Amino acid sequence: MPRKARIDAPGALQHIIIRGIEKKSIFRDDCDRDRFVERLGKLLFTSSTSCYAWALMPNHVHLLLRTGLIPLATVMRRLLTGYAQHFNRRHNRHGHLFQNRYKSILCEEEPYLLELLRYIHLNPLRAGIVKELDELKSYKYSGHAALMGTLSFEWQDTDYVMNYFGKRRSAAWREYQKFVADGIHQGERPDLVGGGFLRSIRGWTALEEHQRRGDYIKGDERILGSSDFVTQVLKQADESFRQGNLLKRQGIDFYVLLVKVAIYCNVEIEEIWSGTRQQKVVDARSILCYLAVRKLRLSCLAVSQELNMCSSSVSKAVIRGKTILSGMKVEGELFISELFRNVPSLSMKGDL
């Protein structure tokens, strides 16, 4: 059976699990760990991706992230590709470092954010990397130390998390530490490391109760949350997919979009292709990238090849394009509607 596409959108809470190939170590010493953390921090900061929890283990990594303006797949590709190249060079090895593709589970914030926070940060204690909870406060390869105020990572969003435990920081620290300590006896939490039908309803006992009541329950292995949450997420993902397909069926492809944006923004097509830094051309190029990636559902790589840009520049242009449209107080759908109502009709690449 083919793998299902990942589900992601700005603001989505994602539990990411990265594993070494054949369960082998992906960190051989602190130099490797420091390089991974440094690279992770830079990418999260520049992509406006929020990080609430993280832990580096010998052969796997846990991250709890909220997608920013750049798709999480783009952030993860840059993180894992760059780190794997570093690791292979440093240790004179070849081949894949990570097991298949990383696992990502879109999570319902209530009640899973705090449960995942505790589960992820207790990983080093459960594995015996640290011997007791007090040691975890100074362990620098987990987000727990930052939440306890003993270490600082500017890319880790500690304020958002600590506000769950109290407004005054000293009281929040006490409540957070108690919350984490209360989770030690829970041991492994298979209900938190993946989505799916049974996990979403908290196991077989809960399933039997739902069946007695005659409830209809929806589940998906990519999502950790209630049946209503799963249904809502799948509906939104399907609507986004269908929107891109609808535009394509209407004959709206990248080249049509290029012409329409050029006319609407009063710039020449050649200027958009040229890479000039004139402000109105940069704005037009940014809007084009946003509409192509977010509405036509083209990849940043595909758009970069059309515009002779690197994919990271396209990702940044997507963010600028969204900001420009927000400043115009229009969403992408409304802008497309205006675009195609007010400019001459062109439908094929040959029209250029």
In a domain, 300, yes or no: yes
If one counts every other C-beta atom within 10 angstroms of the C-beta of residue 309, the result is 19
Task: Report pLDDT for 210.
Answer: 43
What CATH number corresponds to the domain at position 114?
A: 3.30.70.1290
Enumerate residue ranges in the chain where pLDDT < 50. 1-2, 196-208, 210-211, 213-219, 237-239, 241, 342-352
What would the pLDDT profile of 285-332 be if each residue is shown by its tens digit? 999 998 888 777 777 878 888 888 887 788 888 888 888 887 776 555
Q: How far apart are CA 269 and CA 262, in angstroms?
A: 6
Q: Would you state the structure tokens that stand for residue 33, as one six-digit string?
A: 């760990």
Integer CA distances (angstroms), 315 to 102, 160, 239, 263, 326, in order = 21, 26, 22, 23, 17
In a domain, 231, yes or no: no
> Do 186 and 257 share a domain, yes or no?
no
Residue 105 pairs with which residues in a beta bridge? 15
> Do 188 and 264 share a domain, yes or no?
no
Q: How far apart are CA 271 and CA 274, in angstroms?
A: 5
Domain end (from 146, 168, 192): 192
What would the pLDDT profile of 208-260 be if each residue is shown by its tens digit? 454 454 443 344 566 665 555 555 555 554 445 455 555 555 567 788 888 88
Amino acid at 177: Q
Closest residue by Cα to residue 228 from 201, 204, 205: 201
Domain end (from 166, 192, 218): 192
Question: Which residues have CB under 8 Å from 287's CB, separation 6+?
Answer: 261, 265, 321, 324, 325, 335
Q: How far apart are CA 110 and CA 240, in angstroms?
A: 24
In a domain, 219, yes or no: no
Sequential DSSP letters for 146-202: HHTTSS--TTB-HHHHHTTT-SSHHHHHHHHHHHHHHTGGG---GGGS--SHHHHTT
Nearest 5°: the CA angle 125, 126, 131 is 40
In a domain, 222, yes or no: no
In a domain, 98, yes or no: yes
> Do 102 and 33 share a domain, yes or no?
yes
Task: Report pLDDT for 124.
Answer: 95
Domain that holds residue 321: 250-351
Backbone phi, psi, residue 166, to 5°: 150, 155
Task: Report pLDDT for 61.
Answer: 96
Number of domains the chain contains: 2
Residue 223 pairs with which residues in a beta bridge? 106
What CATH number corresponds to the domain at position 316?
A: 1.10.1750.10
